[in-house]
């Protein structure tokens, strides 16, 4: 029996390739966590401190509208950032685009954490919050548009489902961490009035932490993460043509239309899960803010665990059957749990948390393999542009979910409007997946 000798020179490229894969995947995971941490900051951390930025005595309805503007500004910036940084990533490289985007996130997040309030500068304070969140949204759209395709292009075909789940699980993970952080801060520092400790400076702590996380990730990415070989080896002639022009012509345009349908359903279900279910649970069960935060932490933690499982499942059975099946699951189980929660009478903390967790977990389960699926749908020369715009442009229609709930409430009653909209989102996911091809075995190069 003989053994084949391997020289150190032969083994070195293999080891280097594995190291590059790990670094690229780590960059995708940490970058998406920083992205999602930043997205949830104004929704959770800033909400108890809105009195610091608005005139004294302003009614609750107007304050809520202003708070919604802060979040909407981020949503508006993301498709713009996807278009801008998608072109940069496809023309000059994923790595360069990611570095610029992360630097922008770090600066804008820190600036928000340093802003003065209404007592010092009047309405300029909240105006600057909205403006900076708009700019921040542009950079956030750029981060996942560049870093996720880079990570997916370095990942071996058989592991893309798992890698996608590991990346996207940081979204509920970030929500869980920020909820716990806010709960801790509110227990330590009093809140409620515009001059309370939390309103004046307590909310700034998570923003500074977010900026430091972005800065730390930037250092890691610059030093450790290599450029994508798939992008580097893409046909030079294809890179010379505008990725936006390529995206809106021929087969690429059909791919964009198909993923737009699927992602519209994904975002509708997410909006119901993340924006409607918490308030619905609190109203039906009469939960205190602390109890609701604990319930959300539980739901987020369970959801984070399911993402890698969903990614692996999609790798085994295929992305197309996965999304057809999970879309139906969202419609039936997610919509059903939402309906049971909405129609419950004094369910108590335990039952309310259980129904919230089931509806929340199922409602956002589609995100598990989404990084793999969306990057597999577009060729290397316009992958970042296609992924970013397909992922972000679909935010627009679901962003008006509140109006859809009003319309559905007028037709079917307000109690079950959110369950019906959840079911519609799930059906759109199934239809979108049915319209598209299987992508599990796509060669990313």
How many residues make up the chain in this entry? Answer: 445
Q: Does residue 438 contact residue 147 with C-beta atoms inside 8 Å?
A: no
Report the pLDDT averaged over residues 219-231: 93
Q: What is the pLDDT of residue 12?
A: 52
Calculate the average pLDDT of the chain.
91
The answer to whether residue 125 scores a pLDDT higher than 70 is: yes
Q: What is the pLDDT of residue 396?
A: 84
Q: What is the pLDDT of residue 214?
A: 97
Q: What is the pLDDT of residue 61?
A: 73
Higher pLDDT, 194 or 255: 255
* CA 7/CA 275 separation, integer angstroms: 58
Which band of pLDDT confidence, cut at 50, 70 and 90, is reported for residue 27?
Answer: very high
Report the pLDDT averaged over residues 272-293: 88
Q: What is the pLDDT of residue 389?
A: 95
Report the pLDDT averaged over residues 291-319: 95
Q: What is the pLDDT of residue 212?
A: 97
Q: What is the pLDDT of residue 195?
A: 87
Which band of pLDDT confidence, cut at 50, 70 and 90, is reported for residue 16?
Answer: low
Q: What is the pLDDT of residue 10?
A: 46
The answer to whether residue 319 scores a pLDDT higher than 70 is: yes
* Percent of the chain topping pLDDT 70: 95
Tens digit of each residue's pLDDT (9 = 90 or more) over 350-400: 999 999 999 999 999 999 999 999 999 999 999 999 999 999 989 888 988
Q: Does residue 405 contact residue 389 with C-beta atoms inside 8 Å?
A: no
Tens digit of each residue's pLDDT (9 = 90 or more) over 130-183: 999 999 999 999 999 999 999 999 999 999 999 999 999 999 999 889 989 998
The answer to whether residue 4 scores a pLDDT higher than 90 is: no
CATH architecture for the domain at 13-435? Up-down Bundle (1.20)
Which band of pLDDT confidence, cut at 50, 70 and 90, is reported for residue 13?
Answer: low
* All residues at 6 or more sequence positions from 275 whose CB lies less than 8 Å from its CB, including other chains: 401
* CA 445/CA 436 separation, integer angstroms: 20
Q: What is the pLDDT of residue 116?
A: 94
Report the pLDDT averaged over residues 404-428: 94
The answer to whether residue 32 scores a pLDDT higher than 50 is: yes
Higher pLDDT, 214 or 233: 214
pTM of this prediction? 0.90
Report the pLDDT averaged over residues 201-221: 95
Q: What is the pLDDT of residue 1?
A: 40
């Amino acid at each position: 029996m003989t053994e084949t000798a391997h020289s150190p020179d032969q083994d070195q490229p293999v080891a280097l390739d594995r190291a590059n894969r790990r670094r690229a995947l780590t960059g995708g995971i940490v970058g998406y966590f920083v992205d999602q941490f930043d997205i949830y900051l104004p929704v959770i951390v800033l909400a108890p401190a809105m009195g610091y930025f608005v005139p004294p005595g302003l009614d609750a309805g107007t304050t809520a509208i202003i708070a919604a503007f802060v979040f909407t500004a981020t949503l508006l910036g993301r498709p713009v950032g996807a278009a801008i940084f998608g072109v940069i990533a496809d023309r000059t490289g994923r790595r360069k685009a990611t570095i610029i985007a992360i630097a922008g996130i770090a600066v804008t997040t820190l600036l928000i954490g340093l802003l003065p309030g209404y007592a010092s500068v009047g309405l300029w304070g909240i105006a600057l919050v909205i403006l900076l969140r708009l700019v921040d949204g542009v950079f956030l759209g750029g981060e996942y548009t560049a870093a996720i395709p880079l990570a997916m292009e370095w990942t071996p075909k058989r592991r893309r489902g798992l890698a996608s789940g590991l990346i996207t699980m940081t979204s509920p993970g970030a929500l869980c961490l920020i909820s716990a952080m806010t709960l801790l801060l509110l227990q330590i520092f009093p809140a409620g009035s515009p001059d309370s400790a939390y309103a004046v400076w307590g909310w700034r702590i998570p923003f500074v932490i977010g900026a430091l996380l972005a800065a730390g990730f930037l250092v890691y990415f610059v030093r450790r993460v290599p450029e994508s070989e798939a992008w580097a080896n893409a046909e030079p002639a294809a890179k010379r043509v505008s990725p936006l022009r390529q995206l809106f012509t021929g087969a690429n345009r059909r791919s964009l239309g198909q993923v737009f349908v699927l992602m519209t359903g994904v975002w509708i279900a997410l909006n119901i899960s993340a924006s409607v279910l918490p308030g619905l649970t609190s109203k039906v069960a009469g939960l205190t803010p602390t109890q609701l935060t604990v319930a959300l932490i539980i739901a987020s933690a369970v959801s984070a665990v399911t993402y890698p499982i969903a990614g692996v499942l999609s790798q085994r059975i295929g992305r197309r059957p996965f999304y057809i099946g999970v879309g139906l699951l969202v419609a039936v189980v997610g919509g059903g749990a939402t309906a049971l929660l909405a129609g419950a009478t004094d369910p108590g903390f335990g039952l309310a948390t259980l129904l919230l967790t089931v509806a929340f977990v199922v409602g956002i389960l589609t995100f598990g393999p989404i990084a793999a699926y969306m990057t597999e749908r577009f060729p290397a020369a316009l992958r970042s542009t296609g992924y970013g715009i397909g992922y972000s442009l679909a935010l627009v229609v679901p962003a008006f979910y509140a109006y859809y709930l009003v319309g559905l409430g007028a037709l079917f009653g307000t109690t079950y409007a959110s369950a019906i909209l959840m079911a519609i989102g799930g059906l759109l996911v199934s239809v979108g997946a049915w319209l598209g091809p299987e992508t599990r075995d796509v060669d990313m190069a």
